[in-house]
Amino acid sequence: MKDEDKFCSICGAKIAKIVTEEFTVSADNLIERVKQLLHEGNVTRIVVKDEKGKVLLEIPATVGVIGVVFAPWLAALGVIAALATNCKIVVERRE
């Protein structure tokens, strides 16, 4: 399967295009911004990176659907926010 394919070569299903966006946020706004992104619905994955680009946390979108499972992710984001000054949030969305 190639990036420019519009249909799966195995099953024929339409392939959703994934768009990537990147935001820079302060540690104070990190948790609130991630919550907002998870509630949008078309987000498939969120990656939190430090200022140097090192991946600190990856959150699959299915976690956002199940609120109880999201609590450990919030705790991890709190620790990241305490250690970092600025973070990059990379968001993958379905078109």
Is residue 49 within 8 Å of residue 7, measured between CB atoms? no
Which architecture does CATH list for 18-94? 2-Layer Sandwich (3.30)
pLDDT digits (tens, 9 = 90+) for 38-48: 777 778 888 98
Q: Where does the pLDDT of residue 2 fall: very low under 50, low under 70, confident under 90, or very high at 90 and above?
A: very low
**Per-domain boundaries in the chain:** 18-94
CA distance linking residue 9 with residue 17, whole number of Å: 15
- Tell me the C-alpha distance between 69 and 35, whole Å: 13
In this prediction, residue 51 carries a pLDDT of 84
Q: Which residue has the higher pLDDT, 45 or 13?
A: 45
Query: What is the model's pLDDT at position 22?
Result: 93
Average pLDDT of the residues in 14-22: 82
Is residue 81's pLDDT more than 50? yes
* Residue 82 predicted with pLDDT over 60: yes
